[in-house]
Amino acid sequence: MSSSVATPSSPQQDPPAPAAPTTTAARTAKRPGDVIFSGLSIGSGLLIFLTLALVFIFLLIRSWPAIQTSRELTGNADAVSLVQYVAPLVYGTVLAALLALLMAVPIAVGIALFISHFAPRSLATPLGFLIDLLAAVPSVVFGLWGGVWLVPRLEPLFFFLNEHLGWIPLFGGTVSAPMRNMASASVVLAVMILPIITAVTREIFLQTPRLQEEAALALGATRWETIKTVVLPFGRSGVVSASMLGLGRALGETMAVLMVLSPGETFSLRILQVGQHNTIAANIASHSAEATPDVMARLIFTGLVLFVFTFIINAIARAIVSRTTKS
């Protein structure tokens, strides 16, 4: 019975077998699953490029009226100068993001090290979970919290800094309550970007090869020395890329800044003085609702600047990461 089933099928199977050396390669390359999957993944990859390009084109087209009528292009002294309009906003955006990063990164690295290397496991797991949760809190909630709760509580600190360290330009100027200033806004931003930086750096620190840590311990390194000689060098590029993620978020953050900062458009370093700075994102959000077509085009132009700016910062971050991982 079995042989009668086998014989009819064998002539059908035989022909491909001798020809196998020439056809298997072509045949394995064309399995439908592979074709569909590679098509899908290539398509998804291209979609990213397409989306980015479309956003860029949209921004360019919609901001074109502003560019066209700007003082820079027309040479007309009465026209609005785009450079003069955008520059303080760029300055404010970068200042807010850098200050936030300056405050958040050391704390984030500290928390990440605590979770990965110091806390007992019974504490590390819930703490890590909590950090992840914090990363999911909407920015408008941080904004509310910052504006209503944090700002009044920062008053004594800011008065103190102004009084005793006022000779440093950063803390100089006239300081008055409510503290709707750059310092408050960047503190709220720092709190916002803290979870994402912590979460990424913690993952990196946890990946430190066990053998490397044991090498340091076996030499008689204390826990801190182990971290200094092995964990931090290993995690350096991860800390940089986590910081850049945080920076990207801080640059584009809208609601938290809008709800805390009282805007201005100077290039002042005085982060304690109210009404000095504004960020691109907050400026767009506060003006877009009642904007005339002219103003709208100008706002979209600032959006274009922010877009290009974040792009450049990410490219720099990539370069730093790839250089540190290579060496």
Partner 1 sequence: MAQAINVEDLNIYYGDFLAVEDVNVTIQPRSVTALIGPSGCGKSTFLRTLNRMHEVIPGAYAKGVVEIEGSNIYGNGVDPVNVRRRVGMVFQKPNPFPTMSIRDNVLAGVKLNNKRISRAAADELVESSLRGANLWEEVKDRLDKPGMGLSGGQQQRLCIARAISVKPEVILMDEPCSALDPISTLAIEDLIHEMKKDFTIVIVTHNMQQASRVSDRTGFFNIAGTGKPGHLIEIDDTERMFTNPSNKQTEDYISGRFG
DSSP 150: I
We find the least distance from the C-beta atom of residue 243 to partner 1, in angstroms, to be 19
We find the least distance from the C-beta atom of residue 212 to partner 1, in angstroms, to be 6
**Residue 222 found at the interface with partner 1 (CB under 8 A):** yes
Question: Per-residue DSSP letters for 270-303?
Answer: -TTSBTS---HHHHHHHHSTT--HHHHHHHHHHH
Taking the least distance from each CB to partner 1, the nearer of 183 and 230 is 230
**Residue 114 found at the interface with partner 1 (CB under 8 A):** no
Query: Three-state DSSP class for 261?
Result: coil
Q: Is the peptide bond before 178 cis (omega within 30 degrees of 0)?
A: yes
Burial 126-148 (b: 16+ CB within 10 A, else e): ebbeebeebbeeebeebbbbbbe
**Residue 214 found at the interface with partner 1 (CB under 8 A):** yes
**Residue 176 found at the interface with partner 1 (CB under 8 A):** no
We find the least distance from the C-beta atom of residue 126 to partner 1, in angstroms, to be 17
**Residue 17 found at the interface with partner 1 (CB under 8 A):** no
**Residue 225 found at the interface with partner 1 (CB under 8 A):** yes
CA–CA gap between residue 36 and residue 92 (Å, rounded): 48
The CA-based diameter of the chain, rounded to the nearest angstrom, is 102
**Residue 77 found at the interface with partner 1 (CB under 8 A):** no
User: Could you tell me if 144 and 169 are in contact, meaning their C-beta atoms sit under 8 angstroms apart?
Assistant: no
**Residue 212 found at the interface with partner 1 (CB under 8 A):** yes
User: Could you tell me if 236 and 253 are in contact, meaning their C-beta atoms sit under 8 angstroms apart?
Assistant: no
Cβ count within 10 A of residue 121:
6
Look-up of token digits 């809208």: 254
Taking the CA atoms of residue 157, residue 163, residue 168 and residue 172 in that order, the dihedral angle to the nearest 10 degrees is 90
Considering only residues 119-138, where is the footprint of partner 1 by CB under 8 A? Answer: 121
We find the least distance from the C-beta atom of residue 215 to partner 1, in angstroms, to be 4
We find the least distance from the C-beta atom of residue 210 to partner 1, in angstroms, to be 9
Taking the least distance from each CB to partner 1, the nearer of 52 and 219 is 219
Taking the least distance from each CB to partner 1, the nearer of 5 and 211 is 211
We find the least distance from the C-beta atom of residue 107 to partner 1, in angstroms, to be 24
Contacts with partner 1, 191-210, as mask; x by CB under 8 A: ------------------x-
Question: Per-residue DSSP letters for 157-186?
Answer: HHHHHHHHHTTSGGG-S---SS--BHHHHH
Query: Three-state DSSP class for 25?
Result: helix
**Residue 169 found at the interface with partner 1 (CB under 8 A):** no
Site size for partner 1 (CB under 8 A): 18
**Residue 56 found at the interface with partner 1 (CB under 8 A):** no
We find the least distance from the C-beta atom of residue 121 to partner 1, in angstroms, to be 7
**Residue 219 found at the interface with partner 1 (CB under 8 A):** yes
Q: Which stretch binds partner 1 (CB under 8 A): 20-28, 40-48, 60-68, 224-232?
A: 224-232
Q: What is the binding site for partner 1 (CB under 8 A)?
A: 121, 209, 211-212, 214-222, 225, 229-230, 233-234
